[in-house]
Amino acid sequence: MRRHAVIASLAATALVIAGCSAAASAPQRDTSTDVPYTGCDSVACTGTIEGAEYEIVMPETWNGTLLIYSHGYRPAQPFPPTFDPVVTTAAPAPGWDAGDRSIGEELLERGYALAGSSYASNGWAVEDGVAAAGQIYDFFSENIATPNRTLVWGDSLGGLITAMLAEQDSDWIDGAAPLCGVVAGMVANIDLALDAAYGIQQLLYPQMKIADYTTYEEAVLAWEGAASRILAGAQEQNPEVIAKILTIAAITDAPSRTGTFDGADLVSQISGTVENLLTVLGYATVGRYDIEQRYGGNVSGNELADYAARMSESEIQAIDTIGGEGAAQRFVDILDNGPRVAADPTARAAALERGGNPTGRIQVPVITMHTAYDWVIVQNETFYRDRFDAAAAGGLARADMVQTFTVPPPEFSPEAGAPYGAGHCNFTAQSRIAVVELLDRWVREGVYPAQAAIAEAMGSQSGYDPLFLPGPWPAPEAVVPVG
């Protein structure tokens, strides 16, 4: 099943279902706005460092701030649902590698130097991403100039890399902005992806293999078989299948809104849920294969999962309305009594050590931003905040953190899509630039980014909502304590 088939199936699903019913400030630093540097006519600002392509772009007048951008997850092999070719090019700003240089050019106009790279490997390459940031900083400082300040930022997996960089005891990182980041860490998120795959296996696709893949092709077949059953059940308006899909979404907190579906009615809610589950399923199968190869075995398990405890009253009511009275209880009983999966202890330990496991012990000011409805669930930020609060209480966090959230408008058309707030990393350009400017001012001048300043910088069309709070992490029983 390839991209055109998935999109067509989702569209058909929507049509068919329609027939149914104050904090401490950072120290002030050099505030120069015209800093000399060696230009790219004298230095190779593109090339390769330790197997990773890099690119540096300098403004005409440099304000002394270097921005090092970490890109998001890039599959090691073509990945569902699009199965697009693998990408290995450098990315000094969001969208740059895909041909959209508008955000980067705006930052250049404001005086920032841009730098970014690919990583030495694709896949869950957190170690490589952390190493790449340090390597490009070293290259920059040795060949172009020593920055007055360096801010690290990144999207998605790059957000996790950024969070890990913020915890380094380093003399070169001054601030960090993880955006739409997997900041609960790899193990917590892949545990949740396993929960989704387990739910599909137990409720919809009993022969599905959900761990210990031996080949990439085996993982692709698992995704395609599961996706076919999910889409077919929804398109056939099978109430039992739809109720099972909602059960799987409930135990993983999969959102019912996406960048395409606004969730304004039942049709849109189910279509959005299906879209999000198919994406998560890609990481539970093809993404899992890469992770298992990287860390030497199965890194996640569900032996401690209490699926009944994850179901809210409203979710139970919705499932029973579609699947019949008692449907939610029947389905969750199957999940709670099914055969569980155990992680390989050695592989899990390696993943916790090397795969990105933020402790919250940040060493520099941090601003996060997350869309309210994202398949990298917004509860990643709750997980991260809880760890930061514990670290701060124990005197292990040496700086402060500000979290921001964007919420979509109540309605939007599938054709136009969400302008912000729903979909993965779906931010306005202005809100992204605002995060950089607020962080730069915090580091440069010691000005803490208060709500009013954030709202003004992001603008009224960004979806910024200072009152939005994400819920708790959906699987608290599986959270591994930080040592």
The last residue of one of the domains, among 309, 330, 350, is 350
Res 118 pLDDT > 50? yes
Mean pLDDT over all residues of the chain? 93
Distance (Å, whole) CA 124 – CA 295 = 10
**Residue 376 belongs to a domain:** yes
For residue 4, what pLDDT is reported? 45
Sheet architecture: strand order including 401-406: 46-49, 52-57, 113-117, 65-70, 149-155, 175-179, 366-371, 401-406
The last residue of one of the domains, among 350, 374, 393, is 350
Are residue 445 and residue 405 in the same domain, yes or no?
Answer: yes
**Residue 462 belongs to a domain:** yes
For residue 27, what pLDDT is reported? 45
Res 453 pLDDT > 70? yes
**Residue 457 belongs to a domain:** yes
DSSP reduced 3-state for 402:
strand
Are residue 401 and residue 446 in the same domain, yes or no?
Answer: yes
Are residue 340 and residue 462 in the same domain, yes or no?
Answer: no
Are residue 372 and residue 323 in the same domain, yes or no?
Answer: no
For residue 10, what pLDDT is reported? 54
Say how many domains are in the chain.
2
Q: Looking up tokens 């931003």, which residue turns up?
A: 369
**Residue 431 belongs to a domain:** yes
One DSSP character per residue, 162-217 reads: HHHHHTS--SS--EEEEES--TT-HHHHHHHHHHHHHHHHHHT-TT---S---SHH
Are residue 370 and residue 422 in the same domain, yes or no?
Answer: yes
Candidates 322, 317, 320; CA nearest to 267 is 322
Q: Which domain holds residue 68?
A: 46-183+358-478
**Residue 33 belongs to a domain:** no
Are residue 342 and residue 362 in the same domain, yes or no?
Answer: no
pLDDT, one tens digit per residue, over 260-314 is: 999 999 999 999 999 999 999 999 999 999 999 999 999 999 999 999 999 999 9
Are residue 84 and residue 206 in the same domain, yes or no?
Answer: no
**Residue 26 belongs to a domain:** no
For residue 32, what pLDDT is reported? 73
Question: What's the pTM value of the predicted model, to 2 decimals?
Answer: 0.94
Query: What integer is the mean pLDDT of 32-44?
Result: 91
Are residue 92 and residue 239 in the same domain, yes or no?
Answer: no
pLDDT, one tens digit per residue, over 170-215 is: 999 999 999 999 999 999 999 999 999 999 999 999 999 999 999 9
Are residue 196 and residue 340 in the same domain, yes or no?
Answer: yes
Classify each residue of 254-278 as buried b or exposed e, where b means 16 or more C-beta atoms within 10 Å of its C-beta: bbbbbbbbbbeebbbbbbbbbbbbb
CATH for 75: 3.40.50.1820
Are residue 329 and residue 367 in the same domain, yes or no?
Answer: no
Distance (Å, whole) CA 264 – CA 420 = 16
For residue 33, what pLDDT is reported? 78
pLDDT, one tens digit per residue, over 53-95 is: 999 999 999 999 999 999 999 999 999 999 999 999 999 999 9
Res 18 pLDDT > 80? no
Q: Assess contact for 166 and 158: CB atoms under 8 A.
A: no
**Residue 37 belongs to a domain:** no
The last residue of one of the domains, among 350, 385, 405, is 350
Are residue 331 and residue 363 in the same domain, yes or no?
Answer: no
For residue 17, what pLDDT is reported? 46
Query: What integer is the mean pLDDT of 142-167?
Result: 98
**Residue 32 belongs to a domain:** no
DSSP reduced 3-state for 370:
strand
Are residue 262 and residue 124 in the same domain, yes or no?
Answer: no
